[in-house]
Structure formats: C-alpha cells, structure tokens
C-alpha cells in the first residue's frame, strides 16, 4: 500500500507545477520598490462670500483652496509624491450661496498645466470649459478659470471622472455576453479588485491568447475610452467577432491602478510607483497579480500569448512599438497599423524603440516573445473619434488574425 501511495504522489507532482512571471534585467532598470506618498486631506472648504469647495468623492484631487482677492480663488494641486511624470490631475466641486462669477487659479507645485478643464453639473455628463473662460500664465505653468457659481454644485476636473465604480459597472455589462467571464484576479495595495474579462468560446486549451491592459496611470481616460470601444467591438454581433472569440482567447485587465484612480493620483499607485515601470520586477501587487495570472493561465492551458496591447493617454495619438522582431506573429504590427491608417484616413504615428525599460510592451516581448504595443490616445482627441478608432483597431486585428489560420 505504501508503494502504491508513493507512486501516486510521484505521478501527481507534475500537475502541481507553479507558474510565475519571470524576472528580467532590462537595459534601463528602474527602482520600483515602494516609496511613501502623501494623501490629500478630504474635507469641505468654507471660503468667504459664501463659497464652498470639496474633494469628498472618488477620483477627487484638491490639496487646498483659498480666496486670494475679491472673486479670486487659488486651488493647490499637488502630486502624491515626487519625482513624477508631469501630468497634474485635478478634480473638485464648487458651489456658493448666491450666483457669482469667480476666477480660479490652478496652482501646480510640480508641473505645468496639461489637461483642459471639463465641467459638469452631475459628475457624469461633462463638457469642455469654453476656451474664452481659460487663460494660462505667461510661463504656461498655472491656469486661470472663469467659473459661474450658484447653489447648484459645479464639478471641475482635468478629465471626465471614470472611477473604479464606472469600470466595475462596464465590466458587469460586458459579462452579460455569453463569451465573457468576469472575475477578480487579485487585489490592489488597498484591497480594491483587479478585474479580468476572460473572453472566448469553447475549450481554452492551447488557444492563442491576446492580453489587453488599461489604466495603469489614473488620469489617462482617453486610453480607457479607446479600450472600451476596442473590447466592445470584439463582442459585437457580427460574424467576424463571433469567429474571433471562437478561435482566440482575450484576457482584458481594464483597471490596473484602482487605488490611484479613486484617490485622484497624478500617476502612481499607493506604493508611490509608476506601475508601467514594474514589468520585470513585480514589486507592486497590481503588476505582480496580473503578470502571474497571465503566465499561470497560459501555462496551465499550454497556450501562447501572441499579442499584448496596453491602452494609455498622452499629448497626441501614437503607437509605441518594439524594433525587435518577435517570434509570435512577426509581421502583424506593420499590417495592423497600416490597416488602421487606411481605414481612418490618417497617417500612422508610430515610435518604435529597442528594448529599454521595464514597461508592459517590453514585458510582452521578453516574457512571451510576442509583439507589445503601447496604444496612446491624445488628451484632446475628440471622444467620437476615439470610439471610432477603438472599433477600427479591433476590426483590423480580427481580420488579420482570422486570416492567419
């Protein structure tokens, strides 16, 4: 009996293999060990002349506000820590006891103005502050906003509020599709869920996998909008999409930095780190959880990751790609970008680079020998065009990868 039990244990050992993302020493290393951050004080500010302001909502960023002169206010916007990418994010609410016009200065401690202000009366529907209501300082560092206050709450933000609540609601809507399984694959540093949409039909074993990442940097909502349109097109009710989800498996991680998003951070997670510099070290739980989940999923199913797309935002639309030729679908990227360009009627803005730092596109290359693309959407890109571009990107990808087989 003991011999039989021993043999059984020996036979079971191979099935208990552990799959973890491998570390990699990139040519341009980055220290991603945890650093302290400074949290903003959450409060209602009561100012002279019956004016009030607050940051008591998810996605808010306001470090202080005070009156500097008659009908003039100054809001201090500080980052969670430094050094940091100069992407000063702000979001707060204002109201007053009576109708009045004020000039509000956005005072940045560590940057210059980047995001054109948006305003809302309900926190859900947004519009750009008219250009004639916005002025920049001579050095373009601070911005001055002319605002109409009343007893109704006025929301002011660098970008439309898209918090972890909005992402969860979108994920739940997509999970109604029969090809989608929604799960939390781990937690952030503060215990928020890291959602995964697992898209595919039928047996997942040996299916080629596409990895989609989003929202590593909190203010980058234009990339989030493009990713939404991209994924929704994969789930559209037409033959190409149906064939695609039968042939391929798509792992979508729409919000890698839920803590930073809900806390109104400029860039970092609550470990004080740019998550898109931790792909190879896994010092931060958000990256570690996602990386290990992908590696374990493809390992247990004997699959290959053939493509990784990471949606971001910057000053303009651009694709950051690898100069190295990957083993997986080596010519895909060029044909894909060409197809997007021809369909949209705009030139391809691509910036290829050799393997450098520990960013997600380089992780896809070093971990899976597959093409990685950092898909950037401009801060000011029209929202209807973002949706169209996301849809076209998905269509061109599906066409190419269906033809591959």
86 and 109, same domain (yes or no):
yes
Q: Could you tell me if residue 8 is inside a domain? A: no
Q: Which CA distances in Å does 405 have to 191, 239, 244?
A: 41, 16, 11
Number of domains in the chain: 2
Q: Could you tell me if residue 4 is inside a domain? A: no
Report whether 303 contacts 209 (CB < 8 A). Answer: yes
For residue 336 the two structure tokens come to 């894909």
120 and 187, same domain (yes or no):
no
Q: Could you tell me if residue 335 is inside a domain? A: yes
Q: Could you tell me if residue 23 is inside a domain? A: yes
**Residue 191 phi, psi (nearest 5):** 90, 15
- Average pLDDT of adjacent 10-residue blocks, the chain of 405 residues: 39 54 96 98 97 98 97 98 97 98 96 97 98 94 98 98 98 98 98 98 97 98 98 97 98 99 98 98 98 98 98 98 98 97 96 98 98 98 98 98 87
pLDDT in tens, 15-57: 445 689 999 999 999 999 999 999 999 999 999 999 999 999 9
223 and 121, same domain (yes or no):
no
Total Cβ atoms within 10 A of residue 178: 9
Report whether 258 contacts 167 (CB < 8 A). Answer: yes
Q: Could you tell me if residue 376 is inside a domain? A: yes
Please tell me the distance from the alpha carbon of residue 131 to that of residue 392, in angstroms, as a whole number.
31
Report whether 240 contacts 336 (CB < 8 A). Answer: no
**Residue 26 phi, psi (nearest 5):** -75, 155
**Residue 319 phi, psi (nearest 5):** -115, 120
25 and 71, same domain (yes or no):
no
For residue 177 the two structure tokens come to 């599709």
Q: What is the CATH number of the domain that holds 74?
A: 2.60.40.3120
141 and 172, same domain (yes or no):
no
Q: Could you tell me if residue 29 is inside a domain? A: yes
Q: The domain containing residue 277 runs over which residues? A: 16-35+162-403
Please tell me the distance from the alpha carbon of residue 223 to that of residue 378, in angstroms, as a whole number.
8
Q: Which residue, of 112, 134, 157, is where some domain finishes?
A: 157
Q: Is the Cα dihedral 228, 231, 235, 241 positive or negative?
A: positive
22 and 57, same domain (yes or no):
no
pLDDT in tens, 214-255: 999 999 999 999 999 999 999 999 999 999 999 999 999 999
245 and 378, same domain (yes or no):
yes
Q: Which residue, of 157, 183, 204, is where some domain finishes?
A: 157
Decide the pairing of beta strands 72-77 and 180-187: unpaired
Report whether 18 contacts 12 (CB < 8 A). Answer: no
**What pLDDT, on a 0 to 100 scale, did the predictor assign at position 350?**
98
92 and 236, same domain (yes or no):
no
93 and 168, same domain (yes or no):
no
**What pLDDT, on a 0 to 100 scale, did the predictor assign at position 10?**
33
111 and 173, same domain (yes or no):
no
Please tell me the distance from the alpha carbon of residue 397 to that of residue 373, in angstroms, as a whole number.
13
Q: Could you tell me if residue 393 is inside a domain? A: yes
**What pLDDT, on a 0 to 100 scale, did the predictor assign at position 275?**
99
151 and 166, same domain (yes or no):
no
**What pLDDT, on a 0 to 100 scale, did the predictor assign at position 404?**
84
Closest listed residue to residue 15, CA positions, set 299, 252, 266:
299
**What pLDDT, on a 0 to 100 scale, did the predictor assign at position 26?**
97
Q: Could you tell me if residue 111 is inside a domain? A: yes
240 and 309, same domain (yes or no):
yes
Q: Which residue, of 157, 177, 200, is where some domain finishes?
A: 157
**What pLDDT, on a 0 to 100 scale, did the predictor assign at position 2?**
44
Q: What is the CATH number of the domain that holds 248?
A: 3.40.630.10
Closest listed residue to residue 283, CA positions, set 29, 9, 59, 16:
29
């Amino acid at each position: 009996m003991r011999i039989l039990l021993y043999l059984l244990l020996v036979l079971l050992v191979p099935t208990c293999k552990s799959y973890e993302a491998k570390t990699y020493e990139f040519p341009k290393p980055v220290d991603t060990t945890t650093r302290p951050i400074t949290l903003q004080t959450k409060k209602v500010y009561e100012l002279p002349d019956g004016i009030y302001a607050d940051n008591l909502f998810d996605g808010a960023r306001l470090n202080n506000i005070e009156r500097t002169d008659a009908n003039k206010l100054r809001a201090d916007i500080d980052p969670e820590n430094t050094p940091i990418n100069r992407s000063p994010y702000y979001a707060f609410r204002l109201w007053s006891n009576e109708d009045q016009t004020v000039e509000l200065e956005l005072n940045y401690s560590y940057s210059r103005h980047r995001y054109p202000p948006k305003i809302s009366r309900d926190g859900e529907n947004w519009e750009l502050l008219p250009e004639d209501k916005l002025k920049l300082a001579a050095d373009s560092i601070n911005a001055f906003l002319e605002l109409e206050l009343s007893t109704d709450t006025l929301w002011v933000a660098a970008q439309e509020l898209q918090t972890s609540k909005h992402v969860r609601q979108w994920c739940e809507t997509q999970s109604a599709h029969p090809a989608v399984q929604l799960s939390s694959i781990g937690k952030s540093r503060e215990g928020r869920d890291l959602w995964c949409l697992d898209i595919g039909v039928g047996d997942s074993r040996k299916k080629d996998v596409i990895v989609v990442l989003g929202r590593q940097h909190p203010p980058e909502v234009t990339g989030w909008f493009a990713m939404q349109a991209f994924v929704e097109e994969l789930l559209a009710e037409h033959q190409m999409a149906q064939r695609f989800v039968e042939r391929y498996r798509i792992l979508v991680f729409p919000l890698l930095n839920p803590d930073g998003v809900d806390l109104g951070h400029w860039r970092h997670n609550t470990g004080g780190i740019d998550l898109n510099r931790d792909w190879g070290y896994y010092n931060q739980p958000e990256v570690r959880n996602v990386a290990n989940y992908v590696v374990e999923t493809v390992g247990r199913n004997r699959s290959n990751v053939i493509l990784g797309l990471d949606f971001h935002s910057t000053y303009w639309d651009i694709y950051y790609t690898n100069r190295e030729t990957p083993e997986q679908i080596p010519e895909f990227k060029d044909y894909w970008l060409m197809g997007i360009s021809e369909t949209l009627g705009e030139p391809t803005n691509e910036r290829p680079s050799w393997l450098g730092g520990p960013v997600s596109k380089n992780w896809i290359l070093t971990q899976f020998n597959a093409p990685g693309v950092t898909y950037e959407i401009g801060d000011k890109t029209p929202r209807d065009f973002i949706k169209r571009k996301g849809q076209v990107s998905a269509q061109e990808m599906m066409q190419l990868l269906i033809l591959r087989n």
